[in-house]
Amino acid sequence: MVVLVASLALAGCGGGGPETPAATTAPPPPLGAQPLLARTQPQFQADLAGLRGRVVVVNFWASWCGPCREEMPALEEASQAYAKAGKPVTVIGVDASDVRSEAAKFLAEVGVTYPTVYDQAGLRGGVATSWTVTGLPQTWFVARDGSRAGRIAGRLTVDDLRSRVDELLTGS
């Protein structure tokens, strides 16, 4: 409480108008705070570091990609099932090289509840490129220790997804 009051008092003493140093150095919103939150590679890596201890499924997609649209309900189904079972699994969607408004419309249609981020540069030097994604869809699996533990290039099925995640949960 004291820190909050002190912070507010200092903010009021900042002077300098609308662009104070605090405004330019504020951390980005947390992952999942809103759909299609824009992320740079360093921000995305920081998000993943915060998920250590969990199995993470990173799905690269775009609203214009037919196979991506076909697999999205399976990802949502798996995300919900693991959450209900209390399993330490997080699904993250990375919308790569897409039109943000179209992606938002598609997410709403499918009813996606897991965190999604927006990678505007995508396949042209963005987060997707740093994960060696050259085509969509592509799904990466991250082990509990934060290491990349494999990927599926192309459309995945619920069975493929669950098999890979369950292997990582049991440590096989």
The CATH number of the domain holding residue 81 is 3.40.30.10
What is the pLDDT of the chain when averaged over all its residues? 85
Query: Is residue 17, in this structure, part of any structural domain at all?
Result: no
Domain tally for the chain? 1
Q: What percent of the chain has pLDDT over 90?
A: 76
- pLDDT of 45 reads 94
Query: Is residue 48, in this structure, part of any structural domain at all?
Result: yes
Q: Which range (14-23, 69-78, 126-135, 146-155) has the least confidence? A: 14-23
Query: Is residue 9, in this structure, part of any structural domain at all?
Result: no
Query: Is residue 47, in this structure, part of any structural domain at all?
Result: yes
* pLDDT exceeds cutoff 70 at 5: no
Query: Is residue 151, in this structure, part of any structural domain at all?
Result: yes
Query: Is residue 7, in this structure, part of any structural domain at all?
Result: no
* pLDDT exceeds cutoff 80 at 75: yes
Q: Which domain holds residue 144?
A: 29-170
Query: Is residue 10, in this structure, part of any structural domain at all?
Result: no
- pLDDT-derived band at 27 (thresholds 50, 70, 90) equals low
Q: Which residues does residue 138 pair with via DSSP β-bridges, in sequence order? A: 60, 153
Q: For residue 117, how far is the Cα from the chain centroid?
A: 5
- pLDDT-derived band at 28 (thresholds 50, 70, 90) equals low
pTM for the model stands at 0.82
Query: Is residue 135, in this structure, part of any structural domain at all?
Result: yes
